[in-house]
Amino acid sequence: MDVTRREVRMGPAAEVRTADSRAASRTAERVAFARAVLTRAEERTGTAAWVPRPEPTAPPDLPGSGERVLPVHPALAGLLPGGALDRGSTVVVGGSTSLVLALLAEASRAGGWTALAGLPRVGVLAAHQLGLDLARLVLVPSPGADGPTVVAALLDGVDAVVVGDVALSDADRRRLSARARERGAVLVSTTPWPGAHVSLTAETVGWEGLGRGEGRLRARRLVVRAGGRGAAARGWTAEVVVPPSAPAVVPDAGAAPLADGDRAVVRGPWEERRAG
């Protein structure tokens, strides 16, 4: 029996399809692994009883996934060197969980996914009032001993992961920062994190909403001190209101405000480099 052997060469289109299928396969594997880890965490913490599980369909394209930033409210943009949260970066926000949620609200409203790990005192009502979309919010209140694995799995599947009271070693933190950078996620910590790109420390200086013997507390006024690496290394102090619905940022004596309609917007020290 004669056997004719043919050499088949793949054209560019076939090679692209093959690369796409491999990438899709890797993505599916990461999603499956993330779901398995989260299922284990839910079983250990009892989270599954009150957090709805998303339908097991293919993950949609994340809004802005082709861009390198997650948007933030214009009133808070002056706190960040790029005016937004850079994908792949690690950010520390200490002193105010409300500020953490407010920084992520704009990305959540735009369709991004957010996860909170190790923050048992943060409720869904507070998250909703600060602007997060509950349909795209993942809560893991107490990851337990699986903390590093749970956070890593979350970084594989969502746009922004907030890490609170999670038992992590310095080596764990370095690996998780590297994973966030690789996956293009934003890692936000409420506790000190060596090597963070931006570090914000907030202090409550007042409340808004109360009149003389009447009214309700509607907003918190914070003084925020910023620092970090690169453009943020020079340091910066500003005053913000959370939720950021009214006047935005009031600078310290070393900075001049930039008028933007009836909203006070502040240039950080990094704006000078951008303008130059």
* DSSP secondary structure, 93-109, as one string: EES-HHHHHHHHHHHHH
Q: Which residue has the tokens 């951008």?
A: 274
The answer to whether residues 253 and 268 belong to one domain is yes
pLDDT at 120 over 70: yes
Output the pLDDT for position 157: 87
Give the structural domain span for 271. 200-209+218-275
The answer to whether residues 233 and 184 belong to one domain is no
Q: Which residues contact residue 143 at a Cβ distance below 8 angstroms, ignoring those fewer than 6 apart?
A: 41, 45, 117, 118, 150, 151, 166
The answer to whether residues 80 and 192 belong to one domain is yes
The reply to whether 61 falls in a domain is no
pLDDT at 273 over 80: no
The answer to whether residues 266 and 173 belong to one domain is no
Q: Which of 75-79, 164-168, 265-269 has the lowest mean pLDDT?
A: 265-269
> How many angstroms separate the Cα of 130 from the Cα of each of 36, 40, 89, 104, 237?
30, 29, 23, 9, 23
CATH code of the domain covering residue 187: 3.40.50.300
**pLDDT tens across 185-230, in order?**
999 999 999 999 999 999 988 766 565 555 555 678 889 999 988 8
The answer to whether residues 105 and 225 belong to one domain is no
The answer to whether residues 265 and 165 belong to one domain is no
Q: What is the pTM of this model?
A: 0.70
Domains contained in the chain, number: 2
Surface-to-core class of residue 40, CB atoms within 10 Å of its CB (0-12 exposed, 13-18 middle, 19+ buried): middle
The answer to whether residues 222 and 179 belong to one domain is no
**CA pair distance 182, 173, nearest whole angstrom:** 14
Q: Which two tokens stand for residue 233?
A: 């290394």
- Over the range 215-248, which residues count as b (16 or more CB within 10 Å of their CB) and which as e? eeeebbbbbbbbbbeebbeeebebbbbbbbeebb
